[in-house]
């Protein structure tokens, strides 16, 4: 009997060791997946930020060139005076920091350039090859109370026929279209830049072809690439599409290593940037090693048109954002070694039990001591949950990114525990009409704390896949696809998983102010600035979650035309479900709506403060019952 018991104990110890190894391997595997997901999320976030900056740099110039081309056709070009040129084009340079100079040329060999020099003085240069030959007529002048005051005039030799300039020849190939040159050094001020031009036929003279060109300095691109910090030591660089020149220089710690705009790309000395620049695939984040460090990088194309493009280079050191995960892996390894040691001690103690009862008692005391040590280690493992908060924070839009998408908005995010089931999500893109569309949502996943956080990461990834991988842009289509992806993940489990997500998802066209919205159990509130038709609009959601439901149906798409100043509110149920007050009741939607009515005239940051103060005052000493997420946007 005793031998059988001894054999049984040994088998149990061996089984415990095997199960511990399996659990340890599974946890390490899950952490590795999380590491890759966090890395790709940060890389994508850096790409989105650079794309946004480049669009803000080039799009206003495109629009202004089209507008100026139309305005220039209101009068015969041959009748333009210095005052006409100044009134029409000088405000363009004054209002667009990207534009350093502009020129207008014709097929008759005429060219008129306007330049703002570094001293703030206005210069014009006129060339008329067919009438005066290769001569440049320069004028320096000031504009004082709508009067042109000429300071000086001089003449120099022209080095080039205007009709041979690349921006003239390129635009002439296709009238009324935009043409972009390759980057080069301007002959007017020797600054690195790129020229965009457009040609048309003078409405007053069918034989006269006119081309208008804007010179854009590339210094501003380097200014924002040097300031972008996706991580503490991350690097961002922009090059020409052929990888020959640097357009936006990477961040440097000293002028001695500074790379100027339009330097040759082979002058870059940072090996991590060279590795990413030489990547064979675009738009695919990848892992690599450089100079003894682990990095994540991505190479993406930014197109101006079919002929001209830039390459965005992003390189992020893994140590910047994954040190916490590595610490967790080391801690888990230590825990497993502790379990291994404990198992060994148990087996050894049992073997000696049959030989010496006294030795057994001594070893039992040793086991108790080791058990306390393991208990301490387990507490340290629990502390690692705090690191999970940083991981979850990494998938949330950063405050700077939120303000860049929605400059007049606020996000109130109050998790109940260290990590949360609630989250907010944003994405921006440009539609076929070159209009900026902002997607933003407030979501509530089943539960809170660690279980809710795990569901939130799954739902967050499903939203990203629905938009970025499957190309859905309408809120109802995004929610339908997200539900499909979430249910697909749950179907892999042998258990019946009924977790899901409640969400309020908006798509705001910042140009037309059209709002598209779909909701799963969470509503949409609109507070119009013009209260003639009422001061509150509520759009009810579909009464189903993004997840498993008895009666699943496609989500409904709601379209609203908003006006400037209208106020949008989306939120989860955490605030209205909070118990408190003198009667220990729920806060409720009616009290929340009354609060917003009272504060809707305030700036958005003040509204956020008032809502937070109201929550704290209502809750008092009571425990917070759920995660809270509120988003307010003024159109």
Q: Where do the structural domains in the chain lie, given as residue ranges?
A: 2-59+321-386, 73-217, 220-317, 396-634
Query: What average pLDDT does this structure show over 544-566?
Result: 94
Distances (CA, A) of 441 to 419, 422, 447: 19, 11, 18
Query: What average pLDDT does this structure show over 273-301?
Result: 87
Distance of CA 381 to the CA centre of its chain: 32
β-strand 147-157 against 135-144: which pairing, if any? Answer: antiparallel
What are the DSSP calls for 259-322, one per residue?
--TTEEGGG---HHHHHHHT-SSSS--EEEEETTEEEEEEEEEEESSSS-EEEEEEEEETHHHH
220-317: which CATH number, 3.30.310, 3.30.450, 3.30.70, 2.40.160? 3.30.450
> Per the structure block, which two tokens stand in for 235?
């690097």
- 355-361, long-range: CB within 8 Å, 24+ apart, which pairs? none
Angle made by CA atoms 478, 482, 485, in degrees to the nearest 5: 145
Reported as a single tens digit per residue, the pLDDT across 110-148 is: 999 998 887 778 889 999 998 888 999 999 888 776 777
Reported as a single tens digit per residue, the pLDDT across 98-117 is: 888 899 999 999 999 998 88
Give the Cα separation of 460 and 422 in Å (integer): 10
Nearest to 567 by CA among 511, 532, 512, 526: 526
Distances (CA, A) of 233 to 22, 50, 81, 297: 36, 16, 53, 13
Give the Cα separation of 491 and 547 in Å (integer): 11
| pLDDT at residue number 308 | 83
Q: How many residues does the chain have?
A: 635
Domain 396-634 CATH class label: alpha beta
Gap between the terminal Cα atoms of the chain: 81
β-strand 436-445 against 110-116: which pairing, if any? Answer: unpaired
Same fold, 73-217 and 396-634: no
Give the Cα separation of 195 and 212 in Å (integer): 10
Give the Cα separation of 372 and 305 in Å (integer): 67
Largest CA distance in the chain: 120
Reported as a single tens digit per residue, the pLDDT across 382-427 is: 665 777 788 788 889 998 999 999 999 999 999 999 998 899 999 9
Number of Cβ atoms within 10 Å of the Cβ of 59:
13
Reported as a single tens digit per residue, the pLDDT across 201-217 is: 999 999 999 999 999 88
| pLDDT at residue number 291 | 83
- Three-state DSSP state, 388: helix
pLDDT band at 539 (very low <50, low <70, confident <90, very high): very high
> Exposed/middle/buried for 426, CB within 10 Å: 0-12, 13-18, 19+?
buried
Please give the CATH topology (third level) of the domain spanning 73-217.
Beta-Lactamase (3.30.450)
């Amino acid at each position: 009997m005793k031998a059988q018991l001894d054999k049984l104990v040994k088998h149990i110890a061996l089984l415990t060791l095997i199960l511990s190894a399996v659990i340890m391997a599974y946890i390490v595997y899950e952490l590795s997946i999380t590491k890759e997901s966090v890395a790709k999320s940060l890389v994508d976030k850096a790409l989105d930020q650079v794309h946004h900056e480049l669009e803000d740099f080039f799009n206003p110039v495109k629009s202004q060139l089209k507008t100026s081309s139309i305005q220039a056709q209101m009068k015969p070009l041959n009748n333009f005076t210095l005052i006409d040129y100044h009134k029409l084009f000088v405000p363009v340079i004054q209002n667009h920091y990207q534009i350093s100079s502009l020129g207008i040329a014709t097929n008759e060999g005429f060219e008129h350039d306007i330049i703002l020099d570094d001293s703030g003085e206005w210069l014009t240069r006129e060339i008329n090859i067919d009438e005066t030959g290769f001569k440049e007529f320069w004028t320096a002048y000031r504009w004082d109370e709508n009067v042109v005051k000429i300071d000086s005039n001089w003449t120099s030799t022209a080095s080039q026929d205007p009709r041979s300039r690349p921006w003239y020849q390129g635009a002439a190939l296709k009238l009324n279209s935009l043409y972009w040159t390759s980057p080069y050094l301007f002959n007017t001020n020797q600054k690195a830049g790129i020229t965009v031009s457009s040609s048309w036929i003078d409405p007053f003279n069918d034989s006269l072809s006119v081309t208008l060109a804007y010179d854009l300095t590339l210094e501003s691109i380097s200014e924002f690439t040097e300031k972008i910090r996706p991580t503490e030591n991350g690097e961002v660089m922009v090059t020409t599409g052929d990888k020959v020149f640097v357009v936006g220089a990477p961040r440097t710690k000293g002028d001695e290593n500074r790379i100027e705009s339009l330097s040759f790309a082979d002058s870059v000395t940072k090996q991590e940037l060279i590795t990413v620049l030489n990547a064979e695939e675009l738009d695919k984040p990848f892992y690599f090693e450089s100079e003894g460090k682990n990095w994540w990088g991505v190479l993406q194309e930014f197109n101006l048109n079919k002929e001209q493009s830039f390459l965005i280079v992003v390189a992020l050191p893994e140590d910047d954002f994954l040190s916490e995960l590595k610490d967790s892996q080391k801690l888990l390894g230590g825990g497993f070694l502790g379990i291994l040691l404990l198992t060994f001690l148990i087996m050894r103690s049992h073997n000696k039990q049959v030989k010496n009862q006294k030795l057994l008692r001594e070893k039992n005391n040793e086991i108790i001591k080791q058990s306390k040590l393991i208990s301490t280690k387990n507490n340290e493992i629990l502390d690692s949950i705090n690191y999970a908060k940083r991981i979850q924070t990494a998938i949330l839009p950063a405050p700077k990114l939120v303000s860049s998408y929605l400059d007049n908005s606020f996000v109130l995010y109050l998790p109940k525990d260290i990590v949360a089931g609630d989250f907010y999500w944003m994405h921006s893109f440009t539609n076929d009409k070159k209009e900026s569309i902002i997607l933003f949502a407030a979501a509530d996943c089943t539960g809170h704390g660690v279980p809710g956080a795990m569901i939130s990461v799954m739902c967050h990834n499903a939203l990203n896949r629905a938009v970025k991988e499957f190309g859905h842009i309408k809120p109802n289509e995004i929610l339908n696809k997200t539900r499909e992806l979430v249910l697909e993940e749950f179907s892999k489990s042998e258990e019946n998983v009924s977790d899901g997500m409640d969400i309020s998802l908006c798509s705001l066209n910042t140009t037309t102010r059209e709002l598209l919205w779909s909701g799963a159990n969470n509503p949409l509130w609109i507070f119009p600035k013009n209260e003639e038709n009422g001061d509150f609009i509520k759009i009810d959601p579909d009464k189903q979650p993004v997840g498993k439901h008895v009666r699943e149906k496609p989500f409904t798409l709601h379209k609203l035309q908003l006006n400037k100043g209208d106020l949008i509110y989306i939120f989860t149920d955490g605030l209205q479900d909070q118990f408190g007050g003198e009667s220990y009741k729920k806060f409720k939607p009616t009290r929340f709506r009354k609060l917003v009515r009272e504060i809707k005239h305030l700036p958005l940051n003040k509204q956020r403060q008032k809502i937070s103060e109201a929550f704290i005052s209502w809750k008092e000493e009571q425990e917070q019952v759920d995660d809270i997420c509120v988003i307010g946007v003024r159109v």
